[in-house]
Homo-oligomer: A and B are copies of this chain.
Amino acid sequence: MRCASWRFAGEANNLAPWKTVPEECAGYVRDYMTGKAYRFDLEMAAKETLVYARSLKIADDGKDAWVFDIDETLLSNLPYYSDHAFGLEIFNGQEFDKWVEKASAPAIESSWKVYEEILGLGFKIFLLTGRSERHHNVTVENLKRAGFRDWQKLILRESHDHGKTATMYKSERRQEIASDGYRILGNSGDQWSDLLGYSPSSRSFKLPNPMYFIP
């Protein structure tokens, strides 16, 4: 398998759904995530996000909104995934929860810059995460520790959201944001399930992530 083609197919959403990184691409994905390429790809996505955000006219009514996913979008779980073969292992929810509860995921630096500028432009920020409501406090703690501030609302999965696909759960919540009168002008996420579905943003930005796929 040519792993660069596998990664392209993943980022273009052609592979969906996939469970783990193919074994023969383990080294490729590790090198990508830990070398310069991942950082460059993130920076390019950040640059294009800001070109778009700056081009918008922000209204005076405080209703222009930007939605950010959290994991692999604002916060990096690379310290966790470097202990779990960068996506080669089947996802282990219990192990991952222990990591989440440490509240020590670092900021993705390019995303932190995007976040600050989007805040400064006057957008209201909605954080829409697949994390569970019971991780509300550790998530707030982690976000603040990583330098994120001033969000309008942090939305986590409630008990009735479990079992829904991320696409469905996130679409429902975007629709609620819109029905509160907000105009969702931008949406940043590392999964297509952050971006597709109904009540979509005017424009979406897909951050790279070859380690896992969430439907």
Q: Which of A's residues lie within 8 Å of B, judged by CB? A: 2, 4-6, 8-9, 11-16, 37, 40-41, 43-45, 48-49, 203-206, 208
Q: How many copies does the complex hold?
A: 2
Contacts of A4 in B (CB 8 A): 37, 40-41
Question: Shortest beta-carbon distance, A41 to chain B, in Å?
Answer: 5
Q: Once bound together, how far apart are the Cα atoms of A203 and B16, in whole Å?
A: 9
**B8 & A208 in contact (Cβ 8 Å cutoff):** yes
Task: Give 30 CB contacts A-B under 8 Å.
Answer: A2-B37, A4-B40, A5-B37, A5-B40, A5-B41, A5-B43, A5-B44, A8-B8, A8-B11, A8-B41, A8-B44, A8-B208, A9-B41, A9-B44, A9-B45, A9-B48, A11-B11, A11-B12, A12-B45, A12-B206, A12-B208, A13-B204, A13-B206, A14-B44, A14-B45, A14-B48, A14-B205, A14-B206, A15-B48, A16-B203
Question: Shortest beta-carbon distance, A65 to chain B, in Å?
Answer: 19
Question: Shortest beta-carbon distance, A55 to chain B, in Å?
Answer: 11
